[in-house]
Amino acid sequence: MTTTSASRSGRSRRSTRPSGDDREAAILATAERLLSDRPFADISVDDLAKGAGLSRPTFYFYFASKDAVLLALLQPLIAQADTGFDGTMDSLPGDPRRAFREGIRTFFTAFGSHSVVAKAGTEAIAGSPDVRAVWSAFMQKWITQTAALIDAERARGAAPDTISSHDLATSLNLMNERAMTATLVGEKDAVAEDRIVETLAHIWLTSIYGDSQ
């Protein structure tokens, strides 16, 4: 065998081996597939490793725990949802209805794109300190943003100064979380998917602006 042919042969063999990115992606794909069939609590590290074609030790090279896998699936959804109120402060005076509605729509669309992951995240909040910490930080940011928007609307005289803006923002965001989760997982009494955004937007606008909107 010549040096050239040996080199080509070596490159060929190496190219068929899964890269670290491929293995990580296989674990994430396995997790999402398993979540479509069973609760997150019923999925083990062995299930994830086996489904991805890896050994248990190899799994731990890429993720510290199954909670870390769930967080990796949740992060892009959270990042997308977090853009919901980008630029809202500037657009509120011109069209407050549209500004709040689009923020709610962005949030629902983000988590609705991977509803089994969203459901698993909701289930894991109670049992996983890591998931709870990430989700709590995210929710607190949304609550703070919402309270600032309410204060801005009150300051310009567009919204009545009623209850605490922080309490109102907290209640509205927690309502979104619960109502959207019920819709995404198909609970019996949930609001239909094609009406959830408009329903929540109506409640937000009525709560913030009263009869003025």
Same domain, 112 and 59: no
Integer Cα distance of 136 and 16 in angstroms: 42
3-class DSSP state for residue 16? coil
**pLDDT tens sequence across 39-86:** 999 999 999 999 999 999 999 999 999 999 999 999 999 888 888 666
Q: Is residue 71 classed exposed, middle or buried when 0-12, 13-18 and 19+ CB atoms within 10 A define those classes?
A: buried
pLDDT of amino acid 190:
96
Residue that wins the pLDDT comparison between 87 and 13: 87
Integer Cα distance of 125 and 207 in angstroms: 28
Does residue 1 belong to any structural domain of this protein?
no
Q: Which pair of structure tokens corresponds to residue 109? A: 């669309």
Same domain, 44 and 89: no
Q: Considering the entire predicted model, what is its pTM? A: 0.79
- Mean pLDDT over 20-45 rounds to 93
Same domain, 51 and 147: no
Integer Cα distance of 38 and 34 in angstroms: 6
Does residue 98 belong to any structural domain of this protein?
yes
Is the model's pLDDT at 24 over the cut of 70?
yes
Instruction: Report the phi/psi class of residue 114: left, alpha or beta, with left for phi > 0 and alpha for psi in -120 to 50.
Output: beta
In the block, tokens 């609550």 appear at 143
Same domain, 169 and 92: yes
Is the model's pLDDT at 10 over the cut of 80?
no
Does residue 13 belong to any structural domain of this protein?
no
pLDDT of amino acid 100:
82
Same domain, 125 and 180: yes
Structural domain ending residue among the three candidates 30, 63, 96? 63
- As a dihedral over the C-alpha atoms of residue 98, residue 87, residue 80, residue 125, rounded to 10 degrees, the angle is -90
**pLDDT tens sequence across 142-200:** 899 899 989 988 998 989 999 999 999 999 999 999 999 999 888 999 999 999 999 99
Q: State the alpha helices, DSSP H only, in 82-128.
A: 88-91, 96-112, 115-127
Q: Which pair of structure tokens corresponds to residue 39? A: 């609760």
In the block, tokens 């980008």 appear at 86
Structural domain ending residue among the three candidates 48, 63, 78? 63
In this structure, are residues 41 and 66 in contact, taking their beta carbons and an 8 Å threshold? no
CATH assignment at residue 57? 1.10.10.60
Provide the residue range defining the domain that includes 22. 18-63
pLDDT of amino acid 11:
41
CATH assignment at residue 185? 1.10.357.10
Same domain, 57 and 143: no
Does residue 185 belong to any structural domain of this protein?
yes
**pLDDT tens sequence across 111-120:** 888 889 998 9
Does residue 29 belong to any structural domain of this protein?
yes
